Amino acid sequence: MAIFKGVGVAIVTPHKEGRVDFDALRNLIEWHIAEGTDSIVVCGTTGEAATLDYDEHIEVVKFVADTVNKRVPVIAGTGSNDTSFAVWLSVESEKVGVDGLLSVTPYYNKATQKGLLRHYYEVADAINIPMLLYSVPSRTGVNITPAMAKELKKHKNIQGIKEASGNISQIVEMARLIDDDFDMYSGNDDQVIPVMSLGASGVISTVANIAPKKTHEMVQKFFEGDIKGAAAMQLEQKPLIDALFCEVNPVPVKAAVHLLGKCELEYRLPMCEPEDSTMERLKREMKAYGLI
């Protein structure tokens, strides 16, 4: 059974005066649940997990799990290039009550296929909740191939993948090799409907940070059989998505959440405020989409 079906928001982590802004995070969570978001994905790439220290990481995960209180599934990002640390993050996140884990491929080390298999099996052996693989080679330098996904899915705790390679041919092959009990989620907002047409259970989304209701409606249209309507919503969203990725994620999307008045325009280095031209583009596309 899928951890969730529909839209999981890869939620931003608000900051204020150098610290996590838990008041803003609580307000974001309540807004997402009210708008129909199907799952909260915390401490992922969009959540600036790489600049949270160990204690902060678990504190944020626990806060989200406690605030959501089982109203929707909570998935914690617990990936690392250090297997022992990935195990620690995963075990500690399970302890604080999340429903699943999202584990990005080990970055920088660029493990061999044998090392990648051993890494994921070691993490999966340490937990008792479902884990999603996360393949985003543009950021990590490591790709989970369809053949590797087929091998990894043999572990009972590895139950799906966020596929963000952007390679539609690879996604087609992955869909061919995996079974119905292994869930695939689009990791790219501009490919949601194409990937769902291959059997994906939904999307782990960046754009849902600012357009949760419409993103949820788009996916529901697809599930209800209105493929044409879902495709039209995907195409309507494309200029906004392009604006959100005109600089490295999560710089533009956090700025967009700020433009909605829902968080401070604050990052942790090396992430920093976007260029003026990016802010103007965001304002233009958010206005065109009816958000501001």
pLDDT value of position 204: 98
pLDDT of residue 269: 96
One-letter amino acid at 213 equals: K
146-178: pLDDT as tens digits:
999 999 999 999 999 999 999 999 999 999 999
Catalytic residue positions, numbered: 134, 162
What is the spatial distance between Cα 99 and Cα 101, in angstroms, rounded to a whole number?
7
> Rounded to the nearest 5°, which phi and psi values hold at 131?
-125, 140
For residues 133 and 150, what is the distance between their CA atoms, to the nearest angstrom?
A: 12
Instruction: Give 180's pLDDT tier (boundaries 50, 70, 90).
Output: confident
pLDDT tens digits, residue range 12-46?
Answer: 999 999 999 999 999 999 999 999 999 999 999 99
CATH classification of 6-225 is 3.20.20.70, yes or no? Answer: yes
Q: What is the DSSP letter of 205?
A: E
- 22-35 and 212-223 are packed helices; what angle lies between their axes, rounded to 10 degrees? 30
**What pTM was estimated for this model as a whole?**
0.97
Confidence of residue 179 (pLDDT cuts 50, 70, 90): confident
Work out the angle at residue 260's Cα, subtended by the Cα atoms of residues 257 and 262, and round it to the nearest 5 degrees. Answer: 65
**What does pLDDT average to over the chain?**
97
> Mind listing the pLDDT tens digit for each residue in 102-139?
999 999 998 999 999 999 999 999 999 999 999 999 99
d(CA 80, CA 67): 25
Residue among 207, 235, 212, 233 nearest 222 (CA): 233
Domain ranges of the chain: 6-225
- Structural contact between residues 92 and 83, judged by C-beta atoms closer than 8 angstroms: no
Residues 6+ apart with CB under 8 A from 162: 102, 132, 133, 134, 135, 136, 185, 186, 187, 204
Two tokens, residue 192? 């949601």
Q: What is the pLDDT of residue 1?
A: 63
Mean pLDDT in residue range 235-261: 98
